[in-house]
Amino acid sequence: MTDAALTAPKKHAANPRYGSMSRDRTWALRWSYFFLILFAIFFLLPPIYMLITSLKTSAEISAARNPWWVFNPTLENYRELLTSPQYLGYFRNSAIVSVVVVVITMLISVPAAFALSRMKFWGSSTLATGVFLTYLIPETLLFLPLFKMFALFNEWTGIQLINRWWVLLILYPTLTVPFCTWIMIGYFASIPKELDEAALIDGAGWMQTLTKIFIPVALPGLIAATIFAFTVSWAQFLYPLAFTTSTEQLVLPVGIITSLIKGDVFNWGQIMTGALLGAAPPLIIYAFLMDYYISGLTAGATKG
Amino acid sequence: MVDAVLQGVQTPGATRKRSSLRRTMQRKSTVAFLMALPLILMIAFLVIYPALYSLHLATLNKSMERFVGFGNFLFLFKRETFWKVVEQSCIFALTAVFFKAIIGFTVAHFVHNVPNDRQRKWRGMLLVPWVIPPAMSCLAWLWLFDPSYSAFNWVLGIFNIGPVPWTGDAFWARFSVILVNIWIGAPFFMIMYLAALKSVPDQLYEAAAIDGANWWQRIWYITLPMMRNIIAITALFSLIVTFANFDIVQILTQGGPIDLTHVFATWSFTLGIQGNDIPLGAAVSLFMVPILTVAAVFILRDITRRGNES
């Protein structure tokens, strides 16, 4: 329709009544582009500046020249970080934690969503609402009692949970499972009832109905939930900051902040490189699976 | 009924019992309950129990040996910093959500104006701040705000303005944390509003255009009423997330200068983890509960209402 508006002025040049309306639209379009460019600059400035800084030597960073331009581009920062066992350790910890959390999340939330959307049991509707409410409880409310609980757990059983990277495997699902369950309930609920009735008549059990019918049909939802769980666990900052302290136990966001900043000395070239590489996995996933990413984003509020 | 099922599971024995057990296990509600059990356990032990436990923690003294009742709360009320934190949390959340909503709405409109085949590209570009982990992008902002090498101040210096003490001065530090929050959160609003704009039927705009409505009247009388629900729910969601935000303030200012940018989350972290006074930190974080509850009640009302309609 907007395309038509663009070509309209030529067609209706002889007819001023329609002409003025299309001219309005052409101008609206020009203004839209103008403001979109302004907003795009605002939104993309920090990542671009990360890239600019990551290509500089420390000498150039502290020189009083134009900070928005790279005069002597170098990949030294990248080389240094990608060969540093410490940084690679953070990256590995982050990758393991995020992937395992995704698996745990799916194992918990997919069967639960199936049960809650299809097989009613006592209290199931209350539980569905409860799942949504837990999603609204922020981690900033829970980290102190959880910290104390884990300390007490150590006193009782002798199992140390604090300052172990795998404690994050227990903590992160509390952030990912409620939302994933919630959007999976939405996706499962949109599958027509006839489909699982047919499967039941053909003699499929509940597990078979779930794995052979629901999961394949709701695959887009499953991908969206997976992306959500991965990005949330990759980006989480408060839990690792509170629960892990030794260098070899840190994940990426905390690792960059605590180890690349030595005392008051900021090695900005390396910090920006580390941050950019740390932002890369979510950005790559987003670049390739944008539609799933966005459907997961909007599903939380529009579905259900 | 569920209890009965559980007992059935726990006492298998004689063959007669086992067959009844099998029947119970095959019953739909039992299977369903078992499928949801991991979820129930997780919510019970890692969300609900800690939430209640923090209520208990908040009534203990620093070494957590003695019950002090409302002692922690009374202590907080007497501290000036506490009231500053309350003030800053409210300023931070309300201002940020307001501007996120305005910017998100504006940008969504511009993207919606663009021809359909180009919308994808713009949408993809404009959502980038939301995709980058906040801890990483906050580092970029911290570097942009650097006291001696700030790239913003370099640009402003060309026009003989500044240098602006982005994170050094109380006003500018508050401005900076809100700006970064808007930068991260506005794209989310944009995406939600864009989805909502798509659902407004074109006929309404055409009818309005024929009736001679200008663009402002079209927004005021058609777009806003049609999108009222999604605007409200996005704002409430964002209010919860922003009010409980931790990353931005912790990385950019760590609460400084002189505790003036602390919000509830960062202050409870400073007291509880760094200051080793878990009860006091828990008491601070509990002050988030009232506003979160109000927002949650409104969201829930909207969702159950939509559930009843469908």
Are B128 and B193 contained in the same domain? yes
Residues in B closer than 8 angstroms to A176, CB to CB, are none
pLDDT at A98: 93
Residue A275 scores a pLDDT above 70: yes
Of B39, B124, B289, nearest to A290 by CB-CB distance is B124
Q: Measured between CB atoms, which of A114, A141, A271 is closest to B288?
A: A141
* ipTM of model: 0.83
Query: Is position B67 within any domain?
Result: no
Distance from chain centroid for Cα A139: 16
The pair of structure tokens assigned to A253 is 């966001």
Determine the Cα–Cα distance for residues B185 and B195; give it in Å rounded to an integer. Answer: 16
Query: Which amino acid is present at B66?
Result: R
Q: Kindly state whether residues B25 and B112 are assigned to the same domain.
A: no
* Same domain membership, residue B152 and residue B17: no
Greater model confidence, B152 or A90: A90
Examine the domain organization and report whether B8 and B104 are in the same domain. no
Question: Please, which pLDDT band fits residue A99 given cuts at 50, 70 and 90?
Answer: very high
Q: Is residue B68 part of a domain?
A: no
pLDDT at B183: 93
Cβ within 8 Å, pair A6-B1? no
* Helix, strand, coil percentages for chain B (3-state, nearest 5): 80, 0, 20
Of B182, B140, B127, B125, nearest to A49 by C-alpha is: B140
CA B260 to chain centre: 21
- Chain B hits for A275, CB-CB cut-off 8 Å, are 136-137, 139-140
Q: Are residues B13 and B142 in the same domain?
A: no
Q: Identify the three-state secondary structure at position B39.
A: helix
Q: Residue B255: which CATH number?
A: 1.10.3720.10
CA of A7: how far to CAs of A1, B114, B119, B121, B206, in Å?
10, 14, 19, 22, 18
Q: Which long-range contacts (CB under 8 A, 24 or more apart) does B302-305 make?
A: B302/B229, B302/B232, B302/B233, B303/A132, B303/A304, B304/A129
pLDDT tens-digit readout, B118-132: 888 888 888 899 989
**Would you call B286 helix, strand, or coil by DSSP?**
helix
Least CB–CB distance from B191: residue in A170, A278, A294: A294
* CA-based nearest residue to A272, from A30, A95, A60: A60
* Diameter over CA atoms, chain A: 88
Are B36 and A112 an interchain contact pair (Cβ–Cβ within 8 Å)? yes
- Cα A62 to its chain centre, rounded Å, is 34
Closest CA to A188 of A215, A225, A206, A226: A215
Please state, for a pLDDT cut of 70, what percent of chain A lies above it.
89
Q: Which residues of A touch B233 (CB under 8 A)?
A: 301
Which domain-ending residue is among B33, B57, B81?
B57
For B94, the token pair is 């309300």
| Choice between A71 and B193, residue whose per-residue pLDDT is larger | B193
Q: Are residues B16 and B86 in the same domain?
A: no
Put simply, the answer to whether A136 touches B187 (Cβ < 8 Å) is no
Rounded to an integer, what distance in angstroms lies between the CA atom of residue B162 and that of residue A144? 41
Q: Is residue B160 part of a domain?
A: yes
Specify the number of domains making up chain B: 2
pLDDT band at A97 (very low <50, low <70, confident <90, very high): very high
Please count the residues of chain A. 304
B18 shares its domain with B87: no
CB contact under 8 A, B131 and A142: no
The pLDDT assigned to A15 comes to 46
In a domain, B66, yes or no: no
Mean pLDDT of A275-283: 91
CATH of domain A77-302: 1.10.3720.10
pLDDT of residue B306: 66
Any domain includes B158: yes
Q: Are residues B85 and B37 in the same domain?
A: no
Domain that holds residue B278: 73-309
User: What are A177-230's pLDDT values in tens digits?
Assistant: 998 998 888 888 888 888 888 888 888 887 888 888 888 888 888 998 999 899
pLDDT in tens, chain B (310 residues): 444 444 444 444 445 556 666 666 567 778 888 888 899 899 999 998 998 898 888 888 777 777 777 878 888 888 888 888 888 888 999 899 999 999 998 898 888 888 888 888 888 888 899 989 999 999 999 888 888 778 788 888 888 887 878 887 888 888 999 999 999 989 998 988 888 888 888 888 888 888 888 778 888 888 888 888 788 888 888 888 898 889 898 888 887 788 888 888 898 898 888 888 888 888 888 888 888 888 888 877 877 776 665 5
> How far does the CA of residue A256 sit from the closest CA of chain B (Å)?
9
> Domain residues of chain A, as ranges?
2-54, 77-302
pLDDT of residue A196: 82
Q: How many residues does chain B have?
A: 310
Residues B168 and B41 in one domain: no
Residue in A53, A109, A147 closest to B278 by CB:
A147
Inside any domain, residue B153: yes
Helix axes A290-302, B116-126, angle to 10 degrees: 80
pLDDT tens string B82-98: 888 888 888 999 899 99
